Structure 1
């Protein structure tokens, strides 16, 4: 497959907030408008950006993660996602080298992904507040990790023609190509909320916004130079993936709407490849899970923004409770909160949830929770048999205001990326289970 592998590069930056997503989406859309078969890839455990990639390119995007996934898993997921692609514009996460402490290649950093798949890095430099000194940042990125190559930079937040000349003066001293420069323009920013960007399907006039980004990139970036800098993707392998999470049932009732949308594309693809059928239903439309399904899955999302509607969605509520009498129901993060007894919004108003798990959560008492997690299942559950080890992450602002602490009702024992014991987490009661933990792969 190597001879037919698409060319690719990774858009990264020295730090978060530099403009990676703006440049990534603009490039993806601009190249797709040229008639190229473009694909997106997102480094790390981010649900939101891949949906924007899909909107920009017209093709699905997936997450790859060097901490949560083995090299074989990443190769298999990438091979499936990139079939038929001509060019891959991947997007990094945080800073280029930011990840967990660990062995080289297993940190979750964007640099790991570039090294594994052989992609050069297109470095986005936010040059607000400095000029020639930007070259020192670029030089550090170029030299810190010998596994990767910086193909060039795109300058962002350029204040004036003079400012650009000064920045380019510094970069010329280190022989760093400048492939484009974006002026200060807050109008290019996409709307955000507390977990990052507002979701793609909720963003007003998304097509027009993406076209505006593409227009800006076409005017400011040398697209031919970007295409020339891309190199063939290496290491792709279509093979069985032992680390994939198997489908939790033959027919999976999947909650899917504005309140429940955080499902990793690689899970759905792997489940379908294994022969499972995904049957979506909408809790916000007061739809119950179809009774002819084997398992009900409530993924993460933003139930806190819709708690009032969920509390009065009687067909949904009765349907899940009836389903749980004989079949498994699992909730991740937002789904876990919905399976609990009550959910309090940021306004301090508590709403009754399904009451199937002994937990109450609140956004009125915000608490930031972020990090990789390794879970060992205490009981059999839709994610695997008791004793199974899964790697994933947490990312939420909810606080637990009441919960049953009995170990026999817990879902899994958790440790963080460095092995620190976090104790038992989540709940499993009868056929119902849930946790804040988003599973990525088996370990």
Structure 2
């Protein structure tokens, strides 16, 4: 079984709305195609750390993000090149096909449709048919005609109740002129579990392999995989475009464990492609950073779920404090919170953190802070001079109760409004809730 188009041919699995089942479906589809001997390269549209873990586990290779808001076509072409050789790309969409945030003056607002238009990959539309029948055709037709630069090549019906239900829905699709590639019944077992920032991370699930295998069996039984593959088209984005984000050092000590896992694969791959060496270490295993590193980078994640262990991690604490006296340290979101003086968790308990910044954060009251952000650095941070403009996103429930240090950046939302969160700097240490994606044009 081989794809009909060479090199970076792909499909986008999109949906009409969040919660339609596209992550489970895409995870199962990727593994089902891998079992047929194809090398599948997974991608995720938009700013997401958790879904890519499942897609990457199914494919056996890292899942890269493609972002219509934060990346230009050159950056996306560079990421396709970083992904390496594969037979077929499968990209999971974000939210509904055309959903995006406000983006005044931008051609790309961050929707799945933006990625489809940029890559030229056809869209396979997932429709949750649980409470409809022929109306599925009207919905598919509306999506297919909404943007002329987006090709909706076929439909997969999810949560179909019976064969009769499928036949009625297919009647509507036939009337719309859009092919049905398969239908999947509602599935009670094998769901991907959730927590406050989305799905539970793939690396935390001991039964992940059996869940993925079950999803693949479910997908393979209901979808015409051969017909789906024939719809793939080559990407319009080609060439070895370098990413504009230089590594922050030649040797980067990178925290990597269940508490610190939110860093984009294109960042790590781009650093390595530029000649940097990554030196992973685990704070939860009480490991200090490698003393030979030029910089320590603490990614985001779930430090609040492991706060007592981090408080008690003496070797990690002393190693970080010694490193920060001589060399740069940077933290993003959860990493930023860990660099601070303390975290107050939902139960009201305060846990002492590294104290490299004066920052105090709290999950009381719980309030989501979510969205794309633009940052202009007021202070230098590792690898980036003051005045550099960056683009990224913010996604957390914790709030700041005390921040006595110098602000790191002016941060704005997509409308241009200045946000209260500035990040902070103290000596060699910098941090922010801002998750870095790329340099801003």
TM-score (norm 2): 0.96
Change (3 A) 1:383 1:167: farther
The counterpart of 2:410, out of the listed 392, 410, 413, is 413
Distance (Å, rounded) in 2 between the aligned partners of 1:174 and 1:54:
34
Distance (Å, rounded) in 2 between the aligned partners of 1:217 and 1:301:
31
1:86 aligns with 2:83: no
Change (3 A) 1:418 1:45: same
8 Å Cα contact 1:341-1:356 kept in structure 2: yes
Distance (Å, rounded) in 2 between the aligned partners of 1:85 and 1:255:
29
1:6: how far off? 3.0
1:204: how far off? 2.2
1:231 aligns with 2:233: yes
8 Å Cα contact 2:6-2:87 kept in structure 1: no
1:364: how far off? 3.4
Tell me which residue corresponds to 1:209. 211
Distance (Å, rounded) in 2 between the aligned partners of 1:330 and 1:217:
42
1:286: how far off? 0.5
Tell me which residue corresponds to 1:295. 295
8 Å Cα contact 2:78-2:240 kept in structure 1: yes
1:383: how far off? 4.9
8 Å Cα contact 1:5-1:234 kept in structure 2: no
1:423: how far off? 4.4
Deviations 1:243-301, CA, capped at 9 Å, x for gaps: x2211111111011110011111111111111110000110010111111110111001
Tell me which residue corresponds to 2:179. 177
Instruction: Extract structure 1 runs of 4+ deviating beyond 4 A.
Output: none
1:58: how far off? 1.1
Alignment of structure 1 residues 39-438 onto 2, 5 Å:
39-81=41-83, 83-102=84-103, 105-241=107-243, 244-404=244-404, 409-423=406-420, 425-438=422-435
Tell me which residue corresponds to 2:24. 22
Higher mean Cα deviation, 129-138 or 17-26? 129-138
Deviations 1:167-215, CA, capped at 9 Å, x for gaps: 1122121112111111111213211111111111111211111111110
Deviations 1:31-65, CA, capped at 9 Å, x for gaps: 00011111101111101122212210112210011
8 Å Cα contact 2:76-2:237 kept in structure 1: no
The counterpart of 2:33, out of the listed 31, 34, 53, is 31
8 Å Cα contact 1:358-1:403 kept in structure 2: yes
Distance (Å, rounded) in 2 between the aligned partners of 1:284 and 1:58:
25
1:230: how far off? 1.0
1:392: how far off? 0.1
Deviations 1:350-400, CA, capped at 9 Å, x for gaps: 100111112111123211010000000011111510000000000111122
8 Å Cα contact 2:40-2:89 kept in structure 1: yes
8 Å Cα contact 1:179-1:222 kept in structure 2: yes
- Gapped runs of 5+ residues in structure 1? none
Distance (Å, rounded) in 2 between the aligned partners of 1:345 and 1:26:
35
**Secondary structure in 2 matching 1:322:** helix
Higher mean Cα deviation, 358-367 or 212-221? 358-367
1:105: how far off? 4.2
1:139: how far off? 1.3
Distance (Å, rounded) in 1 between the aligned partners of 2:362 and 2:400:
6
Distance (Å, rounded) in 1 between the aligned partners of 2:342 and 2:183:
49
Distance (Å, rounded) in 1 between the aligned partners of 2:82 and 2:403:
41
Aligned residues: 435
1:439 aligns with 2:440: no
Deviations 1:63-120, CA, capped at 9 Å, x for gaps: 0111111110111111221x21111111000111111334574111111111111110
- RMSD of equivalent CA atoms: 1.3
Change (3 A) 1:105 1:120: farther
**Secondary structure in 2 matching 1:122:** strand
8 Å Cα contact 1:411-1:424 kept in structure 2: no
TM-score (norm 1): 0.96
Distance (Å, rounded) in 2 between the aligned partners of 1:425 and 1:95:
31
1:4: how far off? 4.2
**Secondary structure in 1 matching 2:16:** coil
8 Å Cα contact 1:191-1:203 kept in structure 2: no
- Gapped runs of 5+ residues in structure 2? none
Distance (Å, rounded) in 2 between the aligned partners of 1:213 and 1:38:
16
